[in-house]
Amino acid sequence: MNYDVIIVGAGPSGIFTALEAKTLNPEKNILLIEAGRRIDKRSCPKEKTNVCVSCKPYCHITTGFSGAGAFSDGKLSLNYEVGGDLPDLMGPNLVQEFIDYTDKIYLDFGADTKVEGVGNNEAVKEIRRKAIKGNLKLVDCPIRHLGTEMAQQIYLKIQNHLLELGVEIKFDTVAKDLIVDGDTIKGVLIADSRTKKIEEKVYADKVVVATGRKGADWLKDMCLEHNIDHRAGTVDIGVRVELRNEVMESVNDVLYESKLIGYPAPFQDKVRTFCQNPGGFVSQENYDNDLAIVNGHSYKNKKSENTNLAILSSHNFCEPFNKPIEYGKKVAELVNMLGNGSIIVQRYGDILDGKRTWDYELYQSNIKHTLPDAEAGDLTSAIPYRTMTNILNFIESMDAVVPGFASRETLLYGPEIKFYSNKIELDKSFETNIKGLYCLGDSSGWTRGLMMASAMGVMMGRNLAKS
């Protein structure tokens, strides 16, 4: 089978590549390969069972049309300063232009017109003053909140529109290998993702890899096998914090999501908040190697009494070790081992006291934890000393911004780990050193999050439409 363009991965960057290219050039023959199901066929059994059943051959939260974005809280960050390093490659003004353009596409498909985090200038100034007192930096970023359930509806409309435009989508299909001849891409070797049986070779002069964080391992293998230029990236290791809405309302009501960055003593590593969910729910997602990773969701119409957010500590490695993804996996494996395969939850006060948390202690708290199958335990027995020290010192700084954040009953869930891909060496058309091979989104190591990945996809689609 021969195509003009093959896109590997139907996450935001892959979707928007196909959408922009096909809209601008209807004659383009585009194949989109996705390891999971159509979005209208994706569902997590945990909604009925209340416990993770480790779906095989893949987790429906992380795999399928629109990737993990369909089951995330669905927040679009509308500022180029948030979402990765794409501005370093393309320039901040151009990236902001494409963010604004991509935002209009989301609106066309039904995104909420309300933008969070704008106005309330005096209240923002007060939050910033408190952040400075706590040695933290507040990053202003307008947010368009899709909501987990509304995000699924929006991506369903995009999926159906792509099919109407004539984009061919192969679901339940995994890319086994890239077909490379010398320094030129020729196509992709694909297989049924359920049986792993090799189906066929598909060919195109242009192949776009957009496999997201889920495909970080596969892309790393491809880089090594086919000599694709790359360098070691960053791994973010941390926890998801859960506390009452009453504690967070001064920030929730003004910013919806507070993006705070610090470099706490003694190590001065970058530590940041990420993915804040007012009235949200702590969730679990599974990776192919059975790693259970914690995350958070926020719905439009279903609310809890709590707010959850991630605190992530960034780690970079060079010599003699430069395998950040493997490092993050080992940490996750150790936490999972202590939790007997489940997410561990621990009270902040118990960490300070040097003790584990017990189940009965969770029910003595003001906080009703929203991940019922999490195991009460001891995160400090698994998360490295440096990382945990960064997190605890950052929580102390957060208490200056949000009094009560460092309450003894604040809950910490782990592991929360972001498996960012190695950073692929790209030119300004996103082409690798392999002619005709492009890499996008979180899989490229240049973006983090829905909007930046989507905007990068639009850029790629526009380039393809012209060629």
Where do the domains of the chain lie?
Answer: 2-111+147-231+423-466, 121-141+234-418
What is the mean pLDDT of the segment spanning 361-365? 92
Residue 47 pLDDT level (bands cut at 50, 70, 90): low
The more confident residue out of 40 and 144 is: 144
- Residue 319, pLDDT > 90, answer no
| Region for 436 from its dihedrals, namely left if φ exceeds 0, alpha if ψ lies in -120 to 50, beta otherwise | left
Residue 225 pLDDT level (bands cut at 50, 70, 90): very high
What is the mean pLDDT of the segment spanning 108-135? 92
> How does pLDDT run across 297-314, given as a tens digit for each residue?
888 888 999 999 999 999
Residue 46 pLDDT level (bands cut at 50, 70, 90): low
The neighbour count for residue 231, using CB atoms within 10 Å, is: 12
Please state, for a pLDDT cut of 90, what percent of the chain lies above it. 73
What is the mean pLDDT of the segment spanning 148-167? 92
Compute the residue count for the chain. Answer: 467
Looking at residue 420, its pLDDT comes to 72
d(CA 113, CA 244): 27
Q: Please name the amino acid found at residue 2.
A: N
Looking at residue 421, its pLDDT comes to 66
- Residue 121, pLDDT > 90, answer no
Q: Which of 408, 282, 277 is nearest to 344 (CA)?
A: 282
d(CA 194, CA 288): 12
Positive or negative, the CA dihedral 99, 104, 110, 112 is positive
**Residue 189 in contact with residue 441, Cβ under 8 Å?**
no
- Residue 389, pLDDT > 90, answer yes
What is the mean pLDDT of the segment spanning 87-105? 97
Residue that is written with structure tokens 């950052």 in the block? 394
Alpha carbon of residue 448 to chain centroid: 6
Angle at CA of residue 356, ends 351 and 357, nearest 5°: 95
Full DSSP string of 132-201: HHTTEEEPP--EEE--HHHHHHHHHHHHHHHHHHT-EEE-SEEEEEEEEETTEEEEEEEEETTT--EEEE
Paired with 190 in beta bridges are 175, 200
Positive or negative, the CA dihedral 5, 7, 10, 15 is negative
Q: Please name the amino acid found at residue 349.
A: G
Give the tokens for residue 447. Answer: 């973006």
Looking at residue 72, its pLDDT comes to 65
d(CA 280, CA 73): 8
Average model confidence (pLDDT) across the chain: 92
> Which DSSP letter does residue 67 get?
G
Rg (CA), the chain: 21
Residue 235 pLDDT level (bands cut at 50, 70, 90): confident
Please state, for a pLDDT cut of 70, what percent of the chain lies above it. 96
Q: Which of 39, 86, 22 is nearest to 442 (CA)?
A: 86
Does 2-111+147-231+423-466 carry CATH code 3.50.50.60? yes
Q: Which of 61-65, 75-79, 151-155, 372-376 has the lowest mean pLDDT?
A: 61-65
Give the tokens for residue 311. Answer: 């605190």
Contacts of 88 (CB under 8 A, 6+ apart): none
What is the mean pLDDT of the segment spanning 203-220? 91
d(CA 251, CA 402): 8
Contacts of 445 (CB under 8 A, 6+ apart): 85, 230, 233, 420, 421, 422, 423, 424
Residue 50 pLDDT level (bands cut at 50, 70, 90): low
d(CA 353, CA 435): 57
d(CA 73, CA 25): 32
The neighbour count for residue 404, using CB atoms within 10 Å, is: 15
d(CA 229, CA 326): 19
Residue 339 pLDDT level (bands cut at 50, 70, 90): very high
Q: Which of 22-26, 42-46, 131-135 has the lowest mean pLDDT?
A: 42-46
- Tell me the backbone φ, ψ of residue 163, rounded to 5 degrees: -65, -40
**Residue 74 in contact with residue 148, Cβ under 8 Å?**
yes
The neighbour count for residue 365, using CB atoms within 10 Å, is: 18
- Residue 289, pLDDT > 70, answer no
- Residue 288, pLDDT > 70, answer no
Looking at residue 106, its pLDDT comes to 97
The more confident residue out of 48 and 173 is: 173
- Residue 318, pLDDT > 80, answer no
Contacts of 56 (CB under 8 A, 6+ apart): none
- Residue 228, pLDDT > 90, answer yes
